[in-house]
Structure 1
């Protein structure tokens, strides 16, 4: 994995990332604009992104016809400022006996990212990632030639890890 620094500025060393599946993206956008008291920084037909400073949070809303109130969250994440930090966290987690799936230079959430995925004890997917290019024209899927790990050849939607399912 090449070492990159973040293409997105935020005031802290790290910030949490939460991606929520939403049936009605416009209704969800309106709700979160009210809840957070701010406008989104990126809006597409199937995607809305909020960058909250207090607490530091990258919140995305992702359209999904299968979203229901009982559905588990799509995934959670921690955004860092460099690929070196992504790799450092991967090594720390692997030393603790956890397996990881690494993705390099993947198109996801209308951006290019380097990331590593883990699954918590309850089955929640977590990613640690750096955005290396802030804005691309398509909500692309990870490229199999850019992924590392046992499921690298499987076709997945953006932000849908399958390493531990």
Structure 2
């Protein structure tokens, strides 16, 4: 079953962890110095926050697929929009390696459809930073406005 994904860029991570932990009635499923994620079952949502951005608020929305077949079904729906789609295979972001498809809605909001393959020990691919690329970038350049991925 698919899961809604919401990522917010926040200024004070600890203050927001306290707030959302109280609101959701549980601590984050994953927590790092710059990132926290709640994998909630009711409502079924992957809610993430990070303090890696200068632009606060909604970072992006998404749909997390449980397997490759679900991701390909989502991709077919994205194709039907006739909007440009950016594919990322094995992308390292938010302490996970995932296959992803990015699309931007008519309002300019980035949507990430993804299937996580495995957890990784770093926020992103440290090799990209050493190659001179943006060490925070996960999103395609045209969608890359803030944290999770910027």
Interval containing the TM-score (normalised by the shorter chain): 0.7 to 0.9
| Structure 2 unmatched ranges of 5 or more | 145-150
- Alpha-carbon spacing, 1:95–1:129, altered in 2? closer, same or farther (3 Å): same
Cα-Cα RMSD = 2.2
Does the Cα contact within 8 Å between 1:101 and 1:163 map onto a contact in 2? no
Does the Cα contact within 8 Å between 1:103 and 1:142 map onto a contact in 2? no
| Structure 1 unmatched ranges of 5 or more | 1-12, 145-153
Identify the residue that residue 137 of structure 1 maps to in structure 2. Answer: 121
For 1:29-60, what per-residue CA distance to the aligned partner results, in whole angstroms no more than 9, with x for missing partners?
A: 00000111111111100000111111100011
Matches within 5 A, 1:9-158: 13-68=1-56, 71=57, 73-133=58-118, 135-141=119-125, 155=134, 157-158=136-137
For residue 74 of structure 1, give the secondary structure of its aligned residue in structure 2: strand
- Structure (1/2) with the larger strand percentage: 2
- Size of the aligned set, in residue pairs, is 140
Does the Cα contact within 8 Å between 1:104 and 1:113 map onto a contact in 2? yes
How far off its partner does 1:98 sit?
A: 1.4
TM-score with structure 1 setting the length: 0.76
Distance 2:112 2:127 in 1: 17
TM-score with structure 2 setting the length: 0.83
